[in-house]
Structure 1
Amino acid sequence: MSDSKPLVLDVDGTFLKTDMLLEAFWAGLGRNPWATLRASLRHFRQPARLKAELAAIAPLRIDLLPVNPAVAELALNGAATGREVILASASDASQVAPLAAQYGLSPRVFASDGSHNLKAGAKAAALVAAFGERGFDYAGNSTADLPVWAVAENALVVGRVRGTDALAGQGQNVVALPGAEGGWRGALVAMRPHQWVKNILLLLPLIAAHRFDLATLIPILWGIVAFSAAASSIYIVNDLLDLEADRLHPKKNRRPFASGAVPIGRGMVTGALLAVLALGVAAALNPGFLAVVIGYMITSLAYSLKLKRMRWVDIATLATLYTIRVVAGAAAGQVDVSIYMLIFIFPVFIALGCVKRLTELTLATNDERLPGRGYGRPDREDLLHVGGLGVCGALVIFFLYSVSDQGRALYPDTWLMWLALIPMAWWLVRMVVLGWFGQQDYDPIVFAMKDKLGLGILMITLSLMFWAAGLWADWFGG
Structure 2
Amino acid sequence: MTKLETISPNSGDADSTQSLDGTPPLVVDLDGTLIKGDLLIEGVIALLKRSLFYLLLLPVWALGGRAALKAKVAEHAEIEIPTLGFNRPFMAWLQSEKARGRQLYLASGSHETWVREVADETGLFDEVFASDGIHNRTGLEKLSVLHERFGPKGFDYAGNASVDYPIWQAARHAIVVNASARVTRWAQDNASVEHVFPRSEAGPRTYLRAMRIHQWLKNLLLFAPLIAAFQTADMLAFGQIVMGFLAFGLCASSVYLLNDIIDVADDRLHPRKCKRPFASGELSIQTGLKLVPILLAGSILLTLFLPWQFALTLAAYYAMTLAYSFKIKQIPGLDVQTLALLYTTRVVAGGAAAGITLSFWLLSFAFFLFLSLAFVKRCAELAVMRNQNKESSRGRGYLVSDLPLLDSMGTGAGYISAFVLGLYINSRDVGLVYDHPQILWALVPIVLFWITRVWLLTHRGEMHDDPVVFAARDRISLALAALSCVVMVVAA
TM bracket (short chain): over 0.9
Letter paired with 1:277? G
Moved more, 83-92 or 357-366: 357-366
**AA partner of residue 271 (structure 2):** P
Equivalent residue for 1:208?
228
Match of 1:388 in 2: 411
Q: CA RMSD in A?
A: 1.8
C-alpha displacement of 1:29: 1.4
The 5 Å alignment of 1:182-197 reads 182=202, 185-197=205-217
In structure 1, the gaps of 5 or more residues are 470-478
Runs of 4+ in 1 over 4 A off after TM superposition: 163-171
- Aligned residue runs from structure 1 range 75-474, under 5 A: 75-158=94-177, 159-160=179-180, 162=182, 165=185, 168-169=188-189, 172-182=192-202, 185-212=205-232, 213-364=234-385, 365-469=388-492
The answer as to whether partners of 2:243 and 2:302 remain within 8 angstroms in 1 is: yes
% identity of equivalent residues: 37
Letter in 2 for 1:407: V
| 1:16 counterpart residue number | 35
Unaligned runs of 5+ in 2: 1-18
Residue 77 of structure 2 corresponds to residue 39 of structure 1: no
Contact 1:14 1:179 in 2 (8 A): no
Per-residue CA distance 1:239-293 (angstroms, 9 max, x = gap): 1111111111111111111111111100111112111111221232121111111
CA distance in structure 1 between the aligned counterparts of 2:314 and 2:377, rounded to whole angstroms: 24
Does the 8 A contact of 1:141 with 1:161 survive in 2? no
Alpha-carbon shift at residue 62 of structure 1 (Å): 0.6
Q: CA deviation at 1:180?
A: 4.3
Does the 8 Å contact 2:103/2:126 carry over to 1?
no
Q: 1:460 to 1:338 in 2, by over 3 A?
A: same
Determine the C-alpha separation between the residues in 2 that align with 1:23 and 1:320: 30
Q: In structure 1, how many angstroms separate the alpha carbons of the residues matched to 2:28 and 2:402? A: 46
Matched, 1:65 2:84: yes
8 Å contact kept, 2:169–2:190: no
Which residue does the alignment assign to 1:5? 24
**Would you say how many aligned residue pairs link Structure 1 and Structure 2?**
468
TM-score by length of 2: 0.91
Deviations 1:282-322 (A, max 9, x none): 23212111111111111011111111111111111110000
Partner AA of 2:196 in structure 1: A
Aligned to 1:473: none
Change (3 A) 1:264 1:184: farther
Task: Specify whether residues 225 and 8 from structure 1 end up closer, same or farther in structure 2 by C-alpha distance, changes over 3 A only.
Answer: same
Deviation of 1:167 (Å): 5.0
Q: How far apart are the structure 1 equivalents of 2:162 and 2:203?
A: 18
Residues 342-373 of structure 1: per-residue CA shift (max 9 Å, x gap): 01110101111111112222233224111111
Other-structure match for 2:3: none
* 1:179 CA drift (Å): 2.5
